[in-house]
Structure 1
Amino acid sequence: MASVTYQLLSVTVVLGAVQLISGYSFKNCIEDPYSNQQSFNCIRRKEKNMPAIIKDLPPSAVNLTISINPIWHIPNRSFVRLPNLQDLRIDQNHLRRIDEFAFQDLHQLKSLNLSCNNISELNPSVFKDLRSLTFLSLTNNTLKRLPEGIFSPLLNLTTLIMRQNFLSNFSAIAESVSHLRNLSVLDLCFNNLTSLSHSNFSLPKSLTTLYICRNNLLKLGCKDSFLGFIHLLDLSYNSRLQSMAFQGLDLKHINYLRLRSTSVKVVELLNISNVNAGHVDFSGTGLNNDTLLMELCRLLSIKVKRITNLGLGGNGIENLTNDTLHYCPNITGTLDLSRNDLKSTGCLEFLNKQEYIKSINVEHNHLTSLQSCKTQNTVLLNNLEELSYRYNRILSVGACAFNYAPNVTTLKLNINTIAYLDINALKGLTRLETLRLDNNLLTDLFSFTFNDNHNLKILNLRNNRISVIFNGTFRSLSNLTTLDLGGNKITYFQPSGLEGLKSLSKFYLDGNNLKQIDSSLYRVFQDTLTVLDLQSNQIRFLNDEISSPFINLSRLSDLKLDGQRPFGLTVLPSTFLRGLHSLKSLYLTNNNIYHLAPDAFDDLTGLHFITLDNCCVGVTNLQPGIFKNLRNLTKLIVENMGIQNFSKEVFGNLTKLHTLQLNRNVMQSIPVDALQSLPNLHYLDIRNTPLSCTCENNILQNWTVKNPHVQVVYLYNLPCPNDAKLKFYNFDTKVCYIDLGEYLFLSTAGVIFLFTVTPLLYVKLYWKMKYGYYVFRSWFSEQWRILSEKDENCKYDAFISYNSSDEQWVMEQLMPNLEGNGSSFKLCLHHRDFELGRDIVDNIVSAVYSSRKTICVVSRNFLRSEWCSLEIQLASYRLFDEHRDVLLLVFLEEISQRQVSSYHRMRKVMLKKTYLQWPGSDCTNPTQAQELFWNQLRRAVRSGSRLETEEETGNFETHTSDENGYLLP
C-alpha cells in the first residue's frame, strides 16, 4: 500500500520523465531488435485479416514476413501504408485470393514470396505496381494457368519460381516471360508440363537457368534456337523424355545439363546434339555396368580431352574395375559416385589414369570397410584434395587406408559405423586439414592415431563412444584450431590427454559425462581458446568453495554450461567464473541453480550476451548488484527464471543493454525507474508474465504505449491475470490519477484537530460524555423499544430518584404518604426493587420505563450526583422526545435559579412545568402545608402521562448518588 501511495503522489513528476523513454509495440508483429524499425516478423498469429495484421507497422518497414497465419485474402491497398517495403514474404498461410490492387504503391518492392499457399488464380493486374521487383516465388500453390500479361509490369524481374503448381501450358508461360529482359532464373519443376512447345514467343536472352524437373515431358517440341541462351538446364525426373527430343536443338551454351531419371540415352544424346559432353551430368542415367561406362568414356575422350566434373551418381553401379574409367578423359575436378550400390572401392585402382582428379565423392553407397593400401602397386592421386565416404556402412578402416591420396586436405568419414580405426589408418596424410569422424562407433583413440597429421586444423569426433582421452592422443596436433568431442561418453582426461593443442581455438565437449572441470587440462591452450562448450555434462558443485577452472583462459569469448545432467548446475560458486574478462557470450540455460551469488559475474566485464533461461529453481530473488559489472551487456535472456521482483538495484547498471527477454516470469509489477535506468533498451519481451492491472502498474502501462523507443513484444495481447478478457495496455487507470493532495491535507488536518481537541473535551466534558455514553446505550437497547410502547399498564406507579443523603426523608415521609394512608401507590426503590446482578444502567432504564412517573427528589446533593443526573436525563427524554408527562420534580430545599442553570435538562423541565417545594418546619403552618403537598403529589401521580392532559406539578426523588452509589452485586 505504501508503494502505491508513493506512486500516486509522484505521478505528475514521473509522467514528465516518461516522455524521455517509453515503449511501443505491434499487435501481431515483432520488429527485428537490430533493424531500426525496418524488419518485422508476423508469424503464427491468429488474425485472419491482412490489414489488421500490419495496420500498426511504421512506414519505415523494409522487410516484412507474414508466415504461418490463417490469412486467406489480401484485399486492395493492403500495403499502401508501407511504401518502403523491399522484401515481402507471405508464405505458408492459407492464401486463396489476392485482389487486383493488393500490392498498390509498392514501387520499391524487390522480393515477393507467395509460396506454400492455396492460390489457384491470379488477377492479370495484381503485380502492376511492382516495377522494381527482382524476385518472385509462387512455389507450392494450385495455379493451373497464368493470365495473359501477368508479368508485364515486372521488367526488372531476375528470378521467377513457380515450382509445385499445376501448370500445363508452356506456351502461355513462355509468352508471359518473353518480354522480361532481365530474367535469368525460371523454375518450373513439379508441374504438369508435357512439352516445351510454344507459338511465336521465345524465352528472353537473359534467361540462363531453367528448371523443368519432375514434370511429364514427352518431348521438347521447341524451336532449334529456343534454348540457345540457357546455361543450366535441369530436365531430371521426366521419366518419359527420350534422347531424340534433343535432336536439332542448339545446346552449345549449356554449361550444366541434368538428366537424372529420364529415358535419355546419354551416348545417343552426345551423338545427335551439339551439347558439350563435359557439361552433362550423367547421374541417374542408367550407366550401371562397365560396358556402358567404357562406351561413355570412349565417346567423351573423342569429344573432349579433359573434363572438369564427371557425375555418375545414382546409376546403380555395383563394381568398378581397373578398366571402367580407363578410357575417360582426364578429370580435373570432381568424380561423383554417390548413391550407387558400391560395396568396395579398393584402393581406387580404377582411377589409375586420373592423376589430376581433385575430389571424389563416394557417399550413400554400401561400403563396409576401407582396406589397407600399403602395397607398392597403389595408385597415387597426388592432386586429390577432398575425399568423402559419408553415409556408408563402414565398420573398420585399415592401416594406411589412404596411401593413394598423400595430399588430401579434407577427409570425410562421418555418418558410418566405424568401430575400429587402425592406429596407422591416417598415416601419411601430412597435409590433412579437415577430418570428419563424427557419428560413428569409435570407443578409443590411440596415442599415435594422428601422428602424421601435423597440419590438421579441424577434427570432428562428435557422437562416438569415446570414454577416455589417453595421454598423448593429440600430441602432434599443434595446428589444430577446432576439436569437437561432443556427444561422447568422456568421463575424464588423463594428465597429458590434451597436450600438444597449442593452437586450439574452439573446443566442444558437450554431451559427455564430465563431472568436474580440471583447470590444469586447459593450460596448454590458455592463450588461444575462444570457444568452450561444456553443456549437457554432469558437472555439479556441492559448495561454494572452489577455485575458478577458467582463471587462465584469458581469450575465452564463448562459454556454454547449459543443461547439466541429471539435476543441473545446482550451485554456481561465486568464484567459478573468475578470470573470464574477455568472455562475450555465456549460456547457463536449463540448470537448477537455487542461488546466484551477487558477485558471481563480477569478472565478466566484456560480456555482451548471457542467457539464463530456465536456469533456476522456483522463485528467484536476484541479489542487488549481481549484474553490476556487466556494463557492456547488450542482450540478456532471463526467461522462466521465476523472477519475482524487477528492480533498479538488480538491472540498473546495464547501460548498454539492447534486448531484454523477461517472459515467463512471476513478477506482478515492473517499476518504470528500473526500465529508465536502461537508456539503450530497444527490445523488451514480457509475454506470459502476470503483470497486475492495478494502480501499481499504471505508470508502466503509460510507459509501454507511448513514443517509439522500446519495443514491448505483443503488448496489445498481454492479458490481465484476473480477467483474460481485459488487456494490460488499456485497463482503467483513471482512479490512479486523482489528485490526493487536498484529501490528504484535509484528513491530516482533521487528525491533528482531533488529537488537539480530544484532551480538552475529556477534561471539560468528561461527565457529559459519560452520560452520553449511557444514554446512547439506553437509546438503542431493546428494553427501551419495548417499554416505550407501554403506557398505562406499567409495573410501578412511580420510580423514586433520590440521593442517599435524602434517604431518611424518603423512608419516613415519602413512602408512608404514597404507599400508606390509603393511597396504595406502588413505588420503585433501588434498594428494594432493582434486580441483583444486572448492570446499573439497565436497572435504571428498566425502572424509568416500567413506571408511570419518575419522581426526582431534588436537593443540592442530588444535583452533585452522577447517577441522579443520569436518571433525570432518562426521564426527561420521555418527557420531551416521546411527549409523555412522566417527570415530577420535588425540591426538598431552596435552590436558586443560578444553581439550577448548570443542569440544562432540569432547567428546561422547570421552565416547561411547575414543580413541588417541600414545606420545611420554618413555614407558618407546616402541618397544613405538608398535607397540601401530599395531596398535590398524589394527584400528580394519578394523572395520565399524555401532555395534552392538564398539567400537574410533579415531584421527584433521587436514586442514591455516586458517593453512595448503587451497590453492585
Structure 2
Amino acid sequence: MGPGLEKDKTTPKGGSKCSTLSIFFLSLNIFCLIVPVRGFALRYCRISDNTAICINNKLRQVPLDIPSTVNIFDLSVNKIVKIQASDFKNLTVLKQLDLNRNNISQIDTGAFSTLISLKKLNLNNNKLRRLGENVFDGLSRLVELRLKRNGIEEVAATSFKSMTSLTFLDISNNKLHSITKVHLILQHLPHLRELYIYDTNLPTFQSWQLTNSSLALRYLDVSLNPLKLFQITADVFPNLTWFNIGGSRGKQNMIWDVRNKTFLSRLSSLDISGLRMTPGDMKTLLETVNSSLTSLKMYAMKYKIHTLIKISCTIPTMSTLKLQSNGLKSIPSDMFASCVNVTKLDLAGNKLVNIDENAFTFMRSLRILNLNRNKLTSVPAAIQNRPTLDELDLSKNNISELRRHDFANQTLLRKLSLYNNIIPVLPQDVFRDLNRLQTLKLQTSQITKLNGAFKKYLPNLKRLHLNGNKLSGIKPGEFKGLRSLENLSLHDNEIKTLVKESFTGLTNLTEILLQSNLLTKEELKTGAFNALINLRRLDLSSNHIIYKDNSLLPHPPFSKLSHLEELNVPSQRRRARARLPQNFLEGLGNLLLFRIRTSQLVELHTGMFKHTPRLQTLDVSSNDLRYLDSKLFAPLQNLSALYMSRASLQSLDFLIDAKLTKLEFLQVRKNQYSVVRHEVIKALPALLYLDLQGNAFTCDCSNIWFIPWLKNDTQTQVYDAYNFLCNYPPVMRGKKLLDFDFNSFCTVDVDFICFVTTTCTILCSMVATFTYHFMRWQLVYAYYLFLAWLYDTKNKNMQAENQYDAFISYNVHDEPWVIGDLLPKLENEQGWKLCLHHRDFEPGKPIIDNITDAIYGSRKTICVISRRYLESEWCSREIQAASFRLFDEQKDVLILVFLEEIPGYLMSPYYRMRKLLKRQSYLSWPRAGEHSELFWEKLRQALKTGQDLDEDRFHLSMLERP
C-alpha cells in the first residue's frame, strides 16, 4: 500500500490463528527477551532531571513506583488525604518534597523518617488541624518548612523536636491564637533565621512568652494579625534585620511597647503597611528603629501619609521609601523636603496626576524612582535635570507624548520604563542625553513611527523592548546608533517591510524577536539579517513566510548568521501546504535549536540538515509529515531532543536507520501509528524519555515486546503509558494497552498443538476414507451442481461498473519506479484509470477502509513486489485483501509485478505470497531487460481482461510463469 505505512499485522481477539503465525510470534517474543532494550513507565508521574512530577493528577495517595534516585518529588495539586509511614521509604536521596494543595489531614508517625537527605518540605494549603507528637521525626537535615493555610490549631510539644537544622519556617494563615504555640515551635529550632507567622489570629505579641527561644531570627513577619499589643521587654531579637508588622486584621489601634531602643538595634527593613496606630505610637515605633533603619514600606496607610513621610525621613540611615497604594493625587514641593538621604522612592499604584516641579529638589541622592500605575499624562518636569537618577519607571500611565527635553541631563540613567502608555511617535532626539542607558522598555505603547530616535543616540543601550506596538516597517539605518544593543524585541507588531539596511549597525545584537508580524518570504530575500553577524537567537514564528517547493534558494536568508544558535521559523496559515527550500538553513553551522511548529509542512528534504551538524533540539510538531526518510537525520549526530507531535506520522520506522545515538528525549504525541517496533528503541540507545501520549495502539501480538518493555523499570521513561488505549481490534477498542494479556494470545502450547493436529488428522483421514468409500459419486454430482448454481448466481448479480481499472499496491521505497515508469505508461499512454493511495484515498477515513474500497472498487489490483514490499505489514494487508477477493469471486483480479529477482526460499516466511505464486501468473521487470515494450504490452493485456473466465485464461497464458 502506501509508502511507509508499515505497521505490524493485527489479529482480532478471539480470531483464528494458524500455527505458523503462532510459532512466529513465539519466536519474536523469545527474541525480544534477549535483546538489550530497556524502558519503564510510571502510572501517574513523569521524571525529568531526577525530578518526579506528579502535579494535578487527582492522586488520592502517594504513588509507590517512583525511582529511588529522584532528588525532587512534586505532588502538588492532588487529593492526597493521608501520609502513611511507607509512602517515602525508598527515597533516601530525596532533597525536596512538594505536597502543596492537597487534602492532607493526617501524617503517620515516622512518615518522613526515611527522608534523611530532605532539605525542603512544602505542606502549604492542606488540612493539618493538629501537628502531633514527633510528626517530623527524621528530618534532621531539613532547612525549609512551609505549613501555610492548614488551619493549624494545635502544636504538640515535640512536633519540631528533630528539625535542628531548620532555618526557614512559614506557618502563616493558620489559627494559632497564641504566641505560646509559637514558643513550642521555636524552642527546638536553634538555627531558625526566617519565621513567617502572619495571619495566625495572634491577639498579642509579648516577648516574655518566648523565653529567649528566638535569638537567631533575622526575618520575622507577624503582619495581618489582630494585634492589640506588641510588647518587647527583653532582647529576644538581637539579630533581627527584617520585620513586617503591617496590615492589622483588627479595627482598633495597636499599642507599641518597645521601651529600649537597643532591642531592635540591627533592624534595617521595616514594613508597617496598613498598620493602625495612634500618631504618638507611630512616632515612638519609628524612633525605636531610628539608628539602623534603611528601608521603610508604608503601603495603604490609614493616616496622613505626609506626616509619616516627614517622621520617617528624619531617620538618618533611611535610603528606601515605599509608598504604594496611598491614594496620592499630587505631590507638593515640600512633601519630601526632609528626605535628603533617600536613594529609592516607590510611588507606584497611586492616583498621581500632578507632581510639582520642585517635588524632588531636596532628594539629592535619589537614584531609583518608581511612578508606575498612576495617571500622569506627560513626563513630570520634576524629574528633568536630575542627573543622579539611575532607574526611572513611568510605565502604565496615560502619557500621550514625549517631548525632546523630557529626559534632559539624565546622563546617569541606566534603566527607563515607558511601556503601556500612548506614544504614537517618538521625537527624533528625545533620548539624546541618555548616554549610559542600558535598558529601554517601550512595549505596548501604540508606537507607529520610530522617527529616527535610535539613529544617533543611546550608544550603551543593551536591551530595547518595542514589542506590542503598531510598527509597519523598519527603515534603513533605523537602529544604527545602537552599537551596543544585545536584545531587540519587535514581536507582536505589524511589520511587513524589511530592507537590506534595516538592522545596520547592530553588530553586537545576540537576540531579535520578530514573531507575530506580517513578514513574508520576500522580506527574507532582502538580506536584512546579514548585518547581524553575532546573532544567537532569531524568532520569526507566526509570520506569513510560506515556501511552496524545496528548490534551492539563490541567496539563503541566514547564510551570514554563522553564530546563530536558536531559530524559530513561522507557523503558517491553516490551508497552506508548505515546503522548505533544501538550503534554507545554509550557513547555520552552530545552530543548536530549530523550531518549525505549526507550519503546514508536508515534506522535509533529505538534505535539509546537512548545514546544521551541531543541532541538539529539533521541533517539527503540528505539521503533516506522514513519511520521513531516515537519511533526513543522518547529519544530526548530536541531536538530543526531538519533538514530532501531531505530525501525522504513520510509523516510527524512519528512526531505525537514522542513527540518533545521542537522542535522549523523544516526543511523538498524537500521531497515527499504532505499533512501535522494538528495532526503533534499539536504534536509540541513549533514550531517557519517550512521550507517546495520545496515540491509539494495536492490542495484539504486533506489540508483544512493547508491553513488558514499558513495565520494566530501568532506563527509558515512557510518559503516561498506563493510560495508553487500544484502537484495534474492535473488541479491544477503548481498553488499556497495559491490560492486554499477550501471554494468552501470543504464546503457543506446542504439546497441545501437536495433540490437536494429530487428532484432527486422524479424524479427517477416517471421515475422508468413509466418505470416499460410500458416497463418492453422490459428492461428485453435488459438487458440479453447486458450481453451476454459483456461476449462475454470480452472473445474475453482476456488480456495477468499477470506479478504477486498477489499484496499485507498492512500498514507499518503490515509489520512484511507480511514479516515474508505471504511472506514465498505464495512465498517460494506455489510458487506464489508476488508484494510488496518496492521490485517491479519502482524507480522515480509516486506512483499512480506504484499502478495502480501493481493491473492490477497481477491476484489478497490481502488486509491485520487492524485498521491502514483503517486509511491509501494510502491504501484506493489501495483498491479503486482494487474494480474498480472488478466491471469493474466482476472477483473475490480481496481477503480480516483481521489481527484483527474489529466490523462492526467501519467500518461505511469507506463506500467502508463496501460495499465490503457485497458482497465479506474474510479470518480472528484471527479466524484461531491453524488451520493456513487451513487458508493458503483457501488462496491458492483463489489464484488458474482462469478466469472462476463459478470456482471463487466454491473456494470462501470455505472462511468464515461475
TM range (shorter): 0.7 to 0.9
Q: 1:25, 1:711 within 8 Å by CA — same for their partners in 2?
A: yes
SS in 1 for 2:623: coil
Query: Structure 1 723/245 Cα, relative in aligned 2: closer, same or farther at 3 Å?
Result: same
CA gap of 1:780–1:503, structure 2 versus 1, over 3 A, is closer
Provide the secondary structure at the position in 1 that maps to 2:195: strand
CA distance in 2 between counterparts of 1:2 and 1:640 reads: 21
> Is 1:687 paired with 2:697?
no
1:297-337 Cα offsets, whole Å, 9 max, x none, are 7xx44x41x53222233333322233332332323x31222
CA distance in 1, matches of 2:543, 2:650: 29
Structure 1-normalised TM-score?
Answer: 0.72
- Whether 1:647 and 2:647 are equivalent positions in the alignment is no
Maintained 8 Å contact 2:256/2:285: no
Q: Which amino acid aligns with 1:43?
A: I
3-state DSSP of counterpart to 1:217: coil
Distance in structure 1 (CA, Å) of the matches to 2:309 and 2:71: 56
Question: Is it true that 1:149 corresponds to 2:171 in the alignment?
Answer: no
Partner of 2:485: 480
How much has 1:507 moved relative to structure 2? 0.6
Query: Which of the numbers 567, 592, 596 marks the counterpart of 1:588?
Result: 596
How many Å separate the matches in 1 of 2:497 and 2:286? 64
Whole-Å Cα distance in 2 between the matches of residues 200 and 575 of structure 1?
A: 74
> Is 1:82 matched with 2:91?
yes
Q: Which of 325, 331, 334 is equivalent to 1:320? A: 331
Instruction: Kindly state the Cα deviation for residue 738 of structure 1 after the two structures are TM-superposed.
Output: 3.2
Q: 1:407 and 1:185 mapped to 2: Cα distance?
A: 37
Question: What residue is the counterpart of 1:886 in the other structure?
Answer: none
Aligned to 2:539: 533
CA contact (8 A) 2:392 2:415 kept: yes
Residue 43 of structure 1, CA deviation = 2.0
SS at match of 2:633: coil
Whether 1:218 aligns to 2:223 is no
Specify the code of the residue in structure 2 equivalent to 1:251. L
Deviation at 1:196?
1.1
CA distance in 2, matches of 1:150, 1:665: 52
Judging changes above 3 Å, is the alpha-carbon distance between structure 1 residues 191 and 289 closer, same or farther for their aligned structure 2 residues? closer
Secondary structure of the structure 2 residue equivalent to 1:221: strand
Among 347, 356, 365, the alignment partner of 1:337 is 347
1:562 Cα deviation after fit: 4.7
Correspondence for 2:76: 67
Residue 507 of structure 2 corresponds to which residue in structure 1?
502
Structure 2 CA distance, aligned partners of 1:73 and 1:361? 47
CA distance in 1, matches of 2:418, 2:106: 50
**What SS does structure 2 have at the residue aligned with 1:126?**
coil
Q: Is the 8 A contact 2:426 2:453 kept in 1?
A: no
Q: Is the 8 A contact 1:241 1:262 kept in 2?
A: no
The separation in 2 between residues aligned to 1:647 and 1:740, in whole angstroms, is 32
8 Å Cα contact 2:621-2:647 kept in structure 1: yes
Alignment partner of 1:456 is 2:461:
yes
2:288 to 273, 297, 304: 273
Partners of 1:260 and 1:157 lie apart in 2 by 29
Max Rg structure: 1
2:608 paired residue number = 600
Query: What runs of 5+ residues in structure 1 fail to find an aligned partner?
Result: 752-767, 784-969
User: Displacement, 1:93?
Assistant: 1.6
Q: What's the Cα RMSD here?
A: 3.3
**Among 530, 547, 555, the residue aligned to 2:563:** 555
Classify 1:213/1:576 alpha carbon distance in 2 versus 1 (closer, same or farther; 3 Å): same
- Give the partner amino acid of 2:114: D
* 1:512–1:149 Cα change, 3 Å: same
Q: Tell me whether 390-399 or 768-777 shows the greater mean CA deviation.
A: 768-777
Tell me, in whole angstroms, the C-alpha distance in 1 between the residues paired with 2:503 and 2:532: 12
Structure 1 residue 148: Cα displacement = 2.4
Pairwise CA distance, 1:286: 4.1
Distance 1:285 1:707 in 2: 56
CA distance in 2, matches of 1:278, 1:207: 17
**Could you say if the C-alpha distance between residues 566 and 400 of structure 1 is closer, same or farther in structure 2, counting changes exceeding 3 Å?**
farther
What amino acid does structure 2 have at the position aligned with 1:328? C
Deviations 1:142-174 (A, max 9, x none): 212322232121111111111222332122112
In structure 1, the partner of 2:396 is 391
- Alpha-carbon distance change, 543 to 652 in structure 1, aligned in 2, over 3 angstroms: closer
**What percent of counterpart residues are identical?**
23
SS of equivalent residue, structure 1 residue 245: strand
Give the partner amino acid of 1:506: E
In 1, distance between residues paired with 2:737 and 2:351? 63
Structure 2 residue 365 is matched with structure 1 residue 356: yes
Cα drift, residue 689 of structure 1: 1.4
Q: Counterparts of 1:421 and 1:246 in 2: how far apart (Å)?
A: 56
Aligned partners of 2:779 and 2:481: how far apart in 1?
104
**Which one-letter code corresponds to 1:142 in the other structure?**
G
1:663 Cα offset (Å): 1.9
CA deviation after TM superposition for structure 1 residue 30, in Å: 1.1
For 1:166-177, what aligned pairs fall within 5 Å after superposition? 166-177=175-186
Pairing partner for 1:774 from 770, 774, 777: 777
2:384 and 2:421 map into 1 onto residues whose CA distance is: 25
* Equivalent in 630, 648, 663 of residue 624 of structure 1: 630
8 Å contact 2:92–2:117 — kept in the other structure?
yes
**Which of residues 23, 36, 44 in structure 1 aligns to 2:56?**
44
In 1, Cα distance between the equivalents of 2:482 and 2:699? 62
Q: Work out the CA distance in 2 between the residues paired with 1:410 and 1:456.
A: 9
Match of 1:260 among 273, 285, 290: 273
Partner of 1:11: 28
Pairwise CA distance, 1:13: 6.7
In the alignment, the residues of structure 2 paired with residue 242 and residue 623 of structure 1 have an alpha-carbon distance, to the nearest angstrom, of 77
| Structure-2 separation of matches of 1:2 and 1:408 | 68
Distance of 1:46 and 1:433 partners within structure 2: 47
Paired residue for 1:29? Answer: 45
Checking the alignment, whether the CA contact within 8 Å between 1:672 and 1:703 is kept in structure 2 is no
Question: What does 1:94-109 align with in structure 2 at a 5 Å threshold?
Answer: 94-109=103-118
- Paired residue for 1:137, among 136, 146, 165? 146
Give the conservation status (yes or no) of the 8 Å contact 2:510–2:536: yes
Q: CA deviation at 1:739?
A: 8.3
1:584-622 deviation per Cα after TM superposition (whole angstroms, max 9, x unaligned): 1111122322223333333221111112222237xx222
In the alignment, is the contact (CA less than 8 A) between 2:558 and 2:588 conserved in 1? yes
The partner residue of 1:677 within 678, 683, 686 is: 683
The answer to whether the Cα contact below 8 Å between 2:689 and 2:717 also exists between their aligned partners in 1 is yes
Partner of 1:636: 642
Give, in angstroms, the shift of residue 772 of structure 1: 7.9
**1:513 aligns to 2:521 (yes or no):** no
- Could you say which residue in structure 1 is the equivalent of 2:472? 467
- Give the paired residue count: 745
SS state of the match for residue 220, structure 1? strand
Structure with the bigger RCO (C-alpha within 8 Å, sep 6+) is: 2
Letter matched to residue 273 of structure 1? T
Moved more, 464-473 or 92-101: 92-101
Give the superposition deviation at 1:233: 0.6
Write the distance in 2 (CA, Å) between the matches of 1:707 and 1:59: 11
Do the aligned partners of 1:183 and 1:206 also contact (CA within 8 Å) in 2? Answer: yes
What amino acid maps onto 1:313 in structure 2?
Answer: Q
- For the residue of structure 2 that corresponds to 1:160, the secondary structure is strand
Match of 2:320 in 1: 309
Number of the residue aligned with 2:622: 614
Query: What residue in structure 2 maps to residue 791 of structure 1?
Result: none
SS at match of 1:507: strand
Distance 1:400 1:612, change over 3 A: same
Does the 8 A contact of 1:461 with 1:484 survive in 2? yes
Identify the residue that residue 201 of structure 1 maps to in structure 2.
211
Tell me the TM-score normalised to structure 2 length.
0.72
Q: Equivalent residue of 2:204, what SS?
A: coil
| Residue in 1 that maps onto 2:127 | 118
8 Å CA contact 1:22–1:708 kept in 2: the answer is: yes
SS in 2 for 1:370: coil
Over 3 Å counting, the alpha-carbon distance change for 1:2 and 1:544 in structure 2 is closer
Q: 2:264 maps to which residue?
A: 251
Distance 1:662 1:341 in 2: 52
